[in-house]
Amino acid sequence: MAPYTIAIANQKGGVGKTTTAVNLSGELVRHGYRVLLIDADPQGNATTSLGIAKRNLPATTYDLLLGSEVEAVVMATGRERLMLVPADQDLAGAPVELASAPQREQRLATALRGAGAYDYIIIDCPPSLGLLTLNALCAADSVLIPLQCEYLPLEGLAQLKATLERVRASLNPRLRILGVLMTMYDGRTNLAHQVVDEVQRHFPRLIFRTIIHRSVRLSEAPSHGKLITEYDPAGRGAQAYAALADEVLQRKERRQ
């Protein structure tokens, strides 16, 4: 059975994509699934969040897009059933090298046909709608959209949704929006409440029940190279990502 692939995407930076990609992967592993996390961002934040140094990586997502076999670029994370395709700054050059390549939007989808050893593939996308994100969307079964509880990220949601519709129409007809995840929620501000209400009003079937609150522990965990369940297992952040994983599994089952 082919793995179920989820792209974590939003063209806005700083909305919690990497935090979500890393910790959702960890929670799916805790459910007993075999997970491959692909770092598709040249900043390589998902790689460092798992405690893996970006110096002298033997192979990266760059190599995967340029034609390497998936198992040749996968590396262990030190966590059972969680594997990683890491990234470093070299990945920034991939869009230039692929500019004139045939089927350039499908390079990741083609490479992942050899990833049958996994139940789930999670792709951490860069903060743009360029070729790297496009490759992720063409490879994905669904996209999860983290959305910071502020006005400007909300403004960009309609643009992202329109882009996803174009990808589905022309490049990947199976692509669906798995859900919108509200992140960095601060219940002390009226704006956070208003943004959540606005998303619920416009996208009632897409918004996840789980909300990720602002958390110092969530911010600290990557600097220690740890998942939130490793760094603060009893905290609000760990509980929230456990609840998100449950919702993701439920939605995935309903759509199959």
Predicted TM-score of the model (pTM):
0.96
Query: Averaged over 9-14, what is the pLDDT?
Result: 91
pLDDT confidence tier of residue 1, bands split at 50, 70 and 90:
confident
pLDDT value for 194: 87
Q: Is the pLDDT of residue 153 over 80?
A: no
Q: What are the pLDDT digits (tens) for 74-98?
A: 999 999 999 999 999 999 999 999 9
Domain total in the chain: 1
Q: Which residue has the higher pLDDT, 42 or 197?
A: 42
The more confident residue out of 16 and 149 is: 16
Asked whether the beta carbons of 182 and 195 are under 8 A apart, the reply is: yes
Lowest-confidence pick of 44-53, 196-205, 227-236: 196-205
Per-residue model confidence (pLDDT) at position 158: 82
pLDDT band at 208 (very low <50, low <70, confident <90, very high): very high
Cα–Cα distance, 137 to 67 (Å, whole number) = 18
Range of the domain at 160: 4-254
Q: What is the mean pLDDT of residues 32-58?
A: 97
Residue % of the chain over a pLDDT of 70: 98
Mean pLDDT of 221-231: 97
Q: Return the CATH number at 39.
A: 3.40.50.300
